[in-house]
Amino acid sequence: DKAPGGPTHMMHSGISQAREFDDPPGLHEKTEYLLREWVNIYHSPTSGRDSTRGFSAFVQQMHQQGILRTDDLITRFFRLCTEMCVDLTYRLLQESNVSPSLLNPTLVRAKCFHTLDAFVRLITLLVKHSGDAVNSVTKINLLNKVLGIVVGVLLQDHDTRQTEYHQMPYHRIFIMLFYELNAPEHVLESINFQTLTAFTNTYHILRPSKAPGFAFAWLEVVSYRAFISRMLLHTPQQKGWPMYAQLLIDLFKFLAPFLRNVELTKSIQILYRGTLRLLLVLLHDFPEFLCDYHYGFCDVIPANCIQLRNLILSAFPRNMRLPDPFTPNLKVDMLQEINVAPRILTNFVAVMSQPFQQDLDSYLKTRAPVTFLSDLRSNLQVSNETGLTYNVPLINSVVMYVGTQAISYIHNKGGTPSMATITHSSHMDIFQNLAVDLDTEGRYLFLNAIANQLRYPNSHTHYFSCTLLYLFAEANQESIQEQITRVLLERLIVNRPHPWGLLITFIELIKNPNFKFWNHEFVHCAPEISKLFDSVARSCMGKQFN
Amino acid sequence: GVAPLGPISLSKDNHYQQAMLEACYRHMPHPSDAERLRHYLPRNPCPTPVYYHQSPLPHHDTIDFYLRLSTETLFFIFYYMEATKAQYMAAKALKKQSWRFHTKYMMWFQRHEEPKTITDEYEQGTYIYFDYEKWGQRKKEGFTFEYRYLEDRELQ
């Protein structure tokens, strides 16, 4: 794919060619003439519904002007057309700024679209008709090349105009081009997956951290109805899923530092709200997608974004019926699903370095040497700066890896995970050691990593639910218990949705007398905390505790 | 909001991103940017008082809803909302009410009475049709409706 001549290569050469301005004399004029001609043809009723009739005559004109002679000239032609469309947009927007009463925004946009839509149709037709009918390679290459050129022009524009940059012309080109290339036609359908790949690569290159001035349009194109349904619904074997997951990760990564700091300027708030809406749509329509990639998403979402994470963790497969967590005497270990492992489509092992994983494996196997445990904390630390002390993805990875290893270890011994079977093993050594040895920050991240697995009924949920309760029961300091309570509670006091496993674990903690939950000092440390526990207990159990 | 791990200092990149995002926020994408050009009824968002309906009635996109609309409304949708689902639904509703589309005149016809002549190629008689230029229904006597101009695709 990255090989010279491959689609990705075509896109990157398109991006770099967008910065070559040494055009042969006369090309600018020819392009301008041709583009104007094409806009007229596109809007002429005699061209037919999809402009096919006008197109063949126009290709003749392109030939006569010598544009189609070399690949280099075609590339330059597309670059100049893109620039002309963009310039026109800026000019019209400028005019409407000068005399807003004369030109209403709708009219200005209609004028821009007049040219932009025509250009998009030209791209579509050239892609469709390049090479012969069965030759998909030339079509895909051309598409990647053109997208690369538009990306290159966009980035150039973004970097030079800075805060005066306008996202609209590019937004329009991407949306309409996607729309046109997904028409129900055989030629287009046969290259649909490569088309989706090309658009995903385009959007990934233009991710908000690279082109922040394009961020709102970016969120629009990524949440565009037709894009979501093509990526998550119509592409067979869920081949669009990893690509779409990557784009969501791009979005979370961009938002992360601002959300973490609670630096919520108006623009960040709007982008955040858009993200919530997108996630709600995905939770409603594609819960399995959120299930499969929850690990990768939680890895990049900051710890304090409770609701954002709850949306992801609340997803469960549509064919599953979740028992009401408030059912009295609910026997979780009797549920069929509790033995089935969830699908994790993120490679969570990859974060660990090779030697570290070897040491971990050997400790899990032999329960030795003890130095592995004492070194663990320093292995997870990356700096001395408060708030940035730990390698969060590594903590998540260790927790997940040790947990899944523990489950298969118990299974191999012929048992199933339960409060009794999870104890006294190398796996639990690691967890208990982390709970005791880490400082407040590290423990918070560690407990969050566990709580991220408390989802719908499955073997991970069950295992980690037991683990968390066991850590609570066996804690040698009240501060550990307080922190476990904190991590659970802070995920429950936000608005819905709440993950099933989280509710189950919390209810067990406050209901089961073995945990002596209500005897702890932190439950009664302040009147508003007592009141909070009261109200949570009431809503969880329908009665008052004190 | 709560930042349990405390704030971190934002990098130079983060500040640049924030500034660009703030600038970009001044000209947000318009709803019309992501849809085909509407020639006659462009979107024109404006603040509407909360005590007015902010969204259309539920099930407004079903055929039952369209069948309750007046024929004039259906003609309006047909001619002024080209290439939309609404146009498709209006055409479907008109067909259900025995209107037939003439592809040469681009107008809808309805039999006023049983045709005087019916052959394999055409039928002839008195028809009511909707004139989109005068914007009203007209009667035409002795009109020949050639079947080759009959739009007879099955609308699912």
Number of H helices, E strands in chain B: 4, 5
Question: Of A110, A167, A264, which has the smallest distance from its Cβ to B24's Cβ?
Answer: A167
Residue A488 has pLDDT above 60, yes or no: yes
Question: Of B3, B25, B37, which has the smallest distance from its Cβ to A261's Cβ?
Answer: B3
pLDDT of residue A386: 79
Residues of B in contact with A174 (CB under 8 A): none
pLDDT of residue A101: 66
pLDDT tens across A381-397, in order? 998 887 889 999 999 99
**Gap from A4 CA to chain B (nearest CA, Å):** 32
pLDDT of residue A321: 92
Question: What Å distances lie between residue A62 and A56, A68, A473, CA to CA?
Answer: 10, 6, 78
pLDDT of residue A102: 62
Confidence of residue A2 (pLDDT cuts 50, 70, 90): low
Across the interface, whether the CB atoms of A268 and B18 are under 8 A apart is answered: yes
Residue A69 has pLDDT above 50, yes or no: yes
Average pLDDT over residues A232-252: 97
Residue A530 has pLDDT above 90, yes or no: no
Burial A129-168 (b: 16+ CB within 10 A, else e): bbeeeeeeeebbbbbbbbbbbbbbbbbbbbeeeeeebbbb
Across the interface, whether the CB atoms of B25 and A266 are under 8 A apart is answered: yes
pTM given for the model: 0.94
Across the interface, whether the CB atoms of A303 and B18 are under 8 A apart is answered: no
pLDDT tens across B58-76, in order? 999 999 999 999 999 999 9
**Gap from B154 CA to chain A (nearest CA, Å):** 18
pLDDT of residue A544: 44
Question: Of B1, B18, B24, which has the smallest distance from its Cβ to A262's Cβ?
Answer: B1
- Residue in chain A nearest B41 by alpha carbon: A106
**Gap from B83 CA to chain A (nearest CA, Å):** 11
Q: What percent of chain A has pLDDT over 70?
A: 97
**What is the token pair recorded at B102?**
């003439």
- Judged by average pLDDT, the poorest of A54-58, A204-208, A234-238 is A54-58
Across the interface, whether the CB atoms of A162 and B23 are under 8 A apart is answered: yes
Residue A545 has pLDDT above 70, yes or no: no
pLDDT tens across A323-333, in order? 998 887 788 88
Instruction: Tell me which H or E stretch contains B131.
Output: strand B122-131
**What is the token pair recorded at A387?**
């708030």
Identity of the amino acid at A16: S
Question: Of B18, B29, B32, which has the smallest distance from its Cβ to A216's Cβ?
Answer: B29
Q: Best residue in A163, A179, A254, A482 to probe B by mutation, most B CBs within 10 Å?
A: A163
**Gap from A213 CA to chain B (nearest CA, Å):** 5
pLDDT tens across A337-385, in order? 999 999 999 999 999 999 999 999 999 999 999 999 999 999 999 988 8
Question: What Å distances lie between residue A243 and A183, A205, A281, B104, CA to CA?
Answer: 21, 13, 18, 47
**Distance (Å, whole) CA A92 – CA A79:** 20
Please provide the size of chain A in residues.
546
pLDDT of residue A52: 82
Average pLDDT over residues A492-518: 91
Residue B2 has pLDDT above 70, yes or no: no
State the average pLDDT for chain A.
92
Give rounded-to-5 percent helix, strand, coil for chain A: 70, 0, 30
Q: Best residue in A85, A154, A263 to probe B by mutation, most B CBs within 10 Å?
A: A263
Query: Which residues lie below 8 Å from residue B154, measured CB to CB, with a gap of 6+?
Result: none
Residue A173 has pLDDT above 90, yes or no: yes
- Quick one: CA torsion of A73, A74, A80, A82, rounded to 10 degrees? -160
Average pLDDT over residues A239-268: 95
pLDDT of residue A265: 93
Average pLDDT over residues B22-50: 92
Reference A115, options A80, A154, A81; nearest CA is A81
